[in-house]
């Protein structure tokens, strides 16, 4: 087909609407809440948002984490743009207070990243009720409370917003090799469902909701992740033996996940909502750099 004046006009329209490229990856002037923001992946996301020009309120129940995180971030020059709000995300009233504190301090909430999570190891037939309840209280109820109160503020402000919920690839790629995450994987599958449903509800208000699903990575939390303390010593020892049988080809760098979470908070992601983005180096597709040889475990019976 011949190229027409109308075609030229359409291309000119693309140019006229194109925002400066640097602005597409900036969060300058925005205000963010990051739960679990004072350690591990949450700290990395906090750092990236601050580097991008946002004001950030870190939320955590740990005052020790607060002291260390604030010291490090202030040393990087972010004293005026970062705050800490002690928050137990399992308590709805504290999450509501966190959102109110953020609005009172910085005037708005434009970005919400839910990174608070807890976990441990136990097989489903050994899983203590209290561990199941704790994992769901933090990972699921905490996320629900955050989205509930943040979406109210964003909706009433009428300026849209970005909500990023940290899930995991484990609901679709079960691990460890012989299991042990039934409660954690179920909680992260719930986050995937929450992402899609709230994206459906909130799109009309310009609020984009997405989830990042990381693979394994090294954080203070993961390094200290242990079998349930309610298990017997024998059950714990058996579990740790199983953990020594690896089937993946390494850990993700925390910042690889952090950068993707940051990107989903920027105008570059304006056209994306309701997505669960796997950031696991291809692991869920069995794309690996190498595959270590694994001897039969448990040993085959004669």
CB atoms within 10 A of CB 216: 19
For 85-137, give the DSSP string.
EE--TTSHHHHHHHHHHHHHHHS---EEEE------B--TTT--HHHHHHHHI
pTM of the model: 0.87
pLDDT in the model for residue 302 = 58
H/E element holding 279?
strand 276-279
Does 236 score more than 90 pLDDT? no
**Per CATH, which fold does 23-281 belong to?**
Rossmann fold (3.40.50)
118-163 per-position pLDDT tens digit: 988 888 888 889 999 999 999 999 999 999 999 999 999 999 999 9
In tens, the pLDDT along 24-62 reads 999 999 999 999 999 999 999 999 999 999 999 999 998
Higher pLDDT, 215 or 133: 133
Give the per-residue pLDDT at 297: 63
Catalytic residues: 184
């Amino acid at each position: 087909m011949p190229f027409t004046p109308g075609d030229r006009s359409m291309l000119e329209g693309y140019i006229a609407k194109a925002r400066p490229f640097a602005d597409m990856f900036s969060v300058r002037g925005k205000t963010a809440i990051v739960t679990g923001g004072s350690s591990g992946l949450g700290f990395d996301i906090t750092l990236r948002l601050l580097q991008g020009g946002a004001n950030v309120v870190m939320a955590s129940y740990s005052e020790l984490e607060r002291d260390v995180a604030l010291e490090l971030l202030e040393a990087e020059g972010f004293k005026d743009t970062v705050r800490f709000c002690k928050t137990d995300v399992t308590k709805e009233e504290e999450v509501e207070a966190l959102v109110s504190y953020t609005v009172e301090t910085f005037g708005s909430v434009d970005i919400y990243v839910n990174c608070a999570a807890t976990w441990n190891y136990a097989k489903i037939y050994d899983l203590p009720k209290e561990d199941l309840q704790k994992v769901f209280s933090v990972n699921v109820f905490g996320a629900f409370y955050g989205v509930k109160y943040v979406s109210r503020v964003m909706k009433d402000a009428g300026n849209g917003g970005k909500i990023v919920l940290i899930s995991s690839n484990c609901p679709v790629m079960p691990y460890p090799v012989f299991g042990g995450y039934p409660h954690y994987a179920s909680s992260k599958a719930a986050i995937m469902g929450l992402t899609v449903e709230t994206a459906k509800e909130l799109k009309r208000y310009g609020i984009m909701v997405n989830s990042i699903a990381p693979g394994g990575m090294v954080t203070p939390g993961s390094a200290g992740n242990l079998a349930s303390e309610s298990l017997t010593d024998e059950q714990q020892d058996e579990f740790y033996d199983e953990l020594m049988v690896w089937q993946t080809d390494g850990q993700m760098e925390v910042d690889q996940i952090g950068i993707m979470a940051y990107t989903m908070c920027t105008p570059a992601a304006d056209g994306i909502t309701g997505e669960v983005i796997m950031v696991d180096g291809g692991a869920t597709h069995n794309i690996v750099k190498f595959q270590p040889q694994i001897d039969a475990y448990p040993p085959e019976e004669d």
